[in-house]
Amino acid sequence: MTKPTGARAAAIPALAEVFREHGYAGASLALLGERAGLGKGSLYHAFPGGKAEMADAVLDSIGAWFEAEIYSALRDDPDPHAAIRRMLSETDAYFRSGRRVCLVGAFALSDGRDRFAERIAGYFAAWRDALAGALHRAGRAEAEILAEDAVLSIQGGLVLARALDDPDVFGRLLGRLERRLCAAP
Amino acid sequence: MTKPTGARAAAIPALAEVFREHGYAGASLALLGERAGLGKGSLYHAFPGGKAEMADAVLDSIGAWFEAEIYSALRDDPDPHAAIRRMLSETDAYFRSGRRVCLVGAFALSDGRDRFAERIAGYFAAWRDALAGALHRAGRAEAEILAEDAVLSIQGGLVLARALDDPDVFGRLLGRLERRLCAAP
DNA sequence: CCGACGCTGTACCGATCGGTACAGGTCCGC
DNA sequence: GCGGACCTGTACCGATCGGTACAGCGTCGG
């Protein structure tokens, strides 16, 4: 039932979790293989490019998920406020209400920044631009500024929630964002 | 002219820079020693506890700097708005207008979170609480919420500035923060 | 029934990891 | 001039790193 590349796709979520928790440098092949349930042989069969290709695949997968679940609605939904609310609730679910960290943000901060710079920049730029478009369609002034501030706040919320070990920080932020982003024009 | 522990103190800024750029796991002893201008022997003489003690010392040094330059003024300055403005300009300088990353935030996101959890939490909690006190003294309602949002935004601003390789993101954020934090009560 | 192919475990590679041991050097009070 | 405390470079440790090679395996089409 699985395509030839099925093992690859199946392994990606586990690999993502390891990169998320340990960073690029900290994610060892031993750990990656163990958590993916794959021996080193299988791992290198599915990802001939090694660790870098695994990280590439994980970033691709994350980018595709956000594109499909969040950005596209922000761009195309005729009701921009609905798209924004959907963004907030999907974001809440994706980051497990602040208990989970943003892999792209973590990569941006430390190791792997240079290696994956374009992909990282693209991820955030797409988010900011899609959100700015929705805000613009909703008739808000300074949509770009508002969007930049929202994207940045989400990242900061994840950092602070993790640092204080208090997921509510993230929940409170999302509440504030809904008020800020869905206010009357 | 240097105290017995002079080499230790002198090495800390260089060590901090390496941890900042490579994370805890990514900062190797070879790199640490090279950048500090110290051989392995000297490094372990100054920091018998090894890498963990180096990171401890770096975190202590950062905490002390923020306490002296920012938190204490937020707590004690009779003019809370002046203290807040000072916080913003010192923050701008410290993070080189967004070109530099927050080591504590980076540690919080990936490796070293568990190892340094209390210290990381303390750093952010002190910032948030000191700022909330200043806002309260300035007569602002919901000072705690405002403070939490500001601290989180600064972290997010650093993440996004780094991710987009665009320091202006951080500068724009600081401008917004000044307006938000120093608005009329 | 068989060879080809896709997949997997395992052994192994050189490099590097964090950390230790220690021989010598430097510099001080005496 | 001397002894000793402090400091430092270097050799070395076992473990693990990312990555490779390959033999064995089951599963197919023919």
- For A2-54, what is each residue's pLDDT tens digit? 334 578 899 999 999 999 999 999 999 999 999 999 999 999 999 999 999 99
* Spatial contact of B84 and B130, defined as CB atoms under 8 Å apart: no
CA distance A149 to B88: 17
Name the amino acid, one letter, at A91: T
| Within a domain: A14 | no
In a domain, A68, yes or no: yes
Alpha-carbon distance of B97 to B170, in angstroms, equals 6
Q: List the single residue in A123, A152, A163 with the smallest CB-CB distance to B108.
A: A163
What does the pLDDT read at residue B185? 65
* A124 lies within 8 A of chain B by CB: yes
What confidence category does residue A112 fall into, taking pLDDT thresholds of 50, 70 and 90? confident
Which of B95, B120, B105, B111 has the alpha carbon at shortest distance from B23?
Answer: B111
Q: Give CA separation, B63 vs A12, A69, A89, B119, B132, in Å.
A: 38, 40, 35, 9, 18
Residue A100, domain member (yes or no): yes
Output the average pLDDT for chain B.
Answer: 94
| Alpha-carbon span A46 to B117, nearest angstrom | 36
**Does residue B62 contact residue B120 with C-beta atoms inside 8 Å?**
no
B133 lies in some domain: yes
Q: What CATH number is attached to the domain comprising B12? A: 1.10.357.10
Q: Which pLDDT score is estimated for A3?
A: 39
The whole-angstrom separation of Cα A84 and Cα A179 is 11
DSSP state of B78: S
Domain range for residue A172?
Answer: 56-181
Cβ atoms within 10 Å of B185's Cβ, excluding its own: 7
- Side-chain-side CA neighbours of B139 within 13 Å: the count stands at 6
Taking each helix axis from N to C end, the angle separating A168-181 and A143-164, rounded to the nearest 10 degrees, works out to 170
State the smallest CA–CA distance between residue B1 and chain A in angstroms.
36
Q: Rounded distance, CA A28 to CA A26, Å?
A: 6
Half-sphere exposure of A103 (CA within 13 A, CB side): 27
Please indicate, yes or no, if residue B163 is contained in any of the structural domains: yes
What is the token pair recorded at A5? Answer: 């590349």
Q: What is the model's pLDDT at position B1?
A: 35
Whether the Cβ atoms of residue A59 and residue B146 lie closer than 8 Å to each other: no
Q: Nearest residue to C17, CA vs C1'?
A: B28
Chain-chain contact of B154 with A156 (C-beta, under 8 angstroms): yes
CB B170 within 8 A of CB B157: yes
Band of residue A111 on the pLDDT scale cut at 50, 70, 90 = confident
Q: How far is CA B126 from CA A94, A106, B160, in A?
A: 29, 23, 23
A30 touches chain B (CB under 8 A): no
Residue B94 lies in a domain: yes
Interface size, chain A vs chain B, as Cβ–Cβ contacts under 8 Å:
135
Distance of residue A132 Cα from the nearest chain B Cα, in angstroms: 15
Cβ atoms < 10 Å from Cβ of A108:
28
Asked whether residue B152 is assigned to any structural domain, the reply reads yes
Read off φ and ψ for residue B136, nearest 5 degrees. -65, -45
Tens-digit pLDDT profile for residues A63-72: 999 999 999 9
Rg of chain B over all Cα atoms, to the nearest angstrom? 18
pLDDT truncated to tens, each residue of chain B (185 aa)? 333 457 889 999 999 999 999 999 999 999 999 999 999 999 999 999 999 999 999 999 999 999 999 999 999 999 999 999 999 999 999 999 999 999 999 999 987 889 999 999 999 999 999 999 999 999 999 999 999 999 999 999 999 999 999 999 999 999 999 999 998 76
| Residue A172 at interface with chain B, using a CB cutoff of 8 Å | yes
Check if A104 contacts B (Cβ < 8 Å): yes
Residue B124 lies in a domain: yes
> How deeply is B1 buried, as exposed, middle or buried, from its count of CB atoms within 10 A (0-12, 13-18, 19+)?
exposed
Higher per-residue pLDDT: A2 or A97: A97
Q: How many domains does chain B have?
A: 1
pLDDT at A184 over 80: no
- Burial of A136 (C-beta count, 10 Å sphere; 0-12/13-18/19+): middle
